[in-house]
Amino acid sequence: MLAGLIFATDDADDRPGTLAATLPFGGLTLIEFQARLLVGAGVSQLLVVVARLTPELLGAIARIGRRGASVDVVRTAVEAADKLHPLARVLVMADGLVTTGDVLSLLTEEGGDALLTVSDHDAAPGFERVGAETAWAGLARLDAKRVAEVAMLPRDYDFQSTLLRVAAQGKAAHIRLPAALSGGAHGIERDSRALATRGTLMLAVLVSKPVVWADRYILAPLARLALPPLMARTVPSVAMAAAGVLLGLGALAGILFETASIGVALSIVAALLFTIGAALAWLRDEEPLAAFQNLAIPGLAALAALLLGHVTSMRDGTATGWTLGIALVVAAALSERAARPGGKRRWWGSPVAYLLIILPFTIAGMPLVALAAAASYAAITLAAAIEGFREKP
């Protein structure tokens, strides 16, 4: 059983009387974002350690409870030990910690007590020292008995610091935080302005993950440029989704009325809007909207390819356009299906990559060549995916 322990006791540095855990973070509160990461990592029980309950914290805890995990509020180590199953493994998250799912995954694997650490030279403000040259990076995986050991100590001891000391004295393993994995988004923040900056970095991490060249080198950089002003103006993620849908419909209309190059270009811009909107929706806990936009990108690319083939076949009086459009969509869909998790290569095709291949040929007035080139690219990608699957089943 995997349990989560979140500390929410310290006040914000720039907002006296406001808990740092309840500061806004991308449309949520910070503690809701932390809980999302833990639930996503497989946690079924959440314990929130508090010093006092505020209306903002109560509201956040109520919303966390709707995510499917049980949520208990505790004030002391004694209460926490009573709530935890004796055999539970506990993921501990420091007060005010901002991190990513990739960083958290370092501690979700099987194993004994472990502390996420950084060198003292690289330690961010708020990281507690656990050695002469080592600092705790705010995450730990501990046995429930460590909490029970803290419960046996005097109650006036600081729960978080004491738990860390007990784990360190118990020879917990140290897992180094890879700098490249966090993307600069990992740290402890109790200042609302600094937390807003962390939110922007978090979004940059979210949109920089793609491996395939088209998404990584074209969509992701443009999305990173657009996200900070959108976050600053609190643009609703549903507005980005609506803009993407409207632009996508305009793209399909452009292809239908035989302005294929404009239609394909608009499809690429719509994919960019969906990428930005999906990142915003994910951070704001709007998962259905994020899932819709992630699916809208391949859906729009498929419709654009099929419609381009249809228009070309109707114009030429042959079935070539239909055949190439269907072949492209089928090969692209199968290559996505055949790709192993984490097994994609930089040069492989993607929905946006196929649109980028199609665009210059449609500008030159050669839609059949455009579809043939994209379909060939999809077929090569499919062959590579199948070969990779055969080599490493």
* pLDDT class of 222 with cuts at 50, 70, 90: confident
Helices (H), 77-191: 77-83, 101-104, 144-151, 159-169, 179-182
pLDDT confidence bin for 388, thresholds 50/70/90: confident
Q: pLDDT of 44-55, one tens digit each?
A: 899 999 999 999
Going from the C-alpha of 216 to that of each of 183, 213, 260, 265, 364, the distances in angstroms are 15, 5, 25, 18, 26
- Structural domains of the chain in order of their starting residue, each with its CATH number: 2-190 (3.90.550.10), 208-391 (1.20.120.1760)
From 8-17, 190-199, 329-338, the region with the lowest mean pLDDT: 190-199
Q: What is the pLDDT of residue 338?
A: 84
pLDDT over 70 for what percent of the chain? 95
pLDDT of residue 183: 62
Q: How many CB atoms lie within 10 A of CB 272?
A: 21
**Section 281-305 average pLDDT:** 91
Residues β-bridged to residue 104 = none
What is the rounded distance in angstroms from the CA atom of residue 382 to the CA atom of residue 392? 15
Can you give the pTM of this predicted structure?
0.76
Query: Does 192 score more than 90 pLDDT?
Result: no
Q: What share of the chain is helix, strand, coil (3-state, %, to 5)?
A: 60, 15, 25
Residues 6+ apart with CB under 8 A from 136: 94, 115, 116, 117, 127, 128, 129, 130, 164
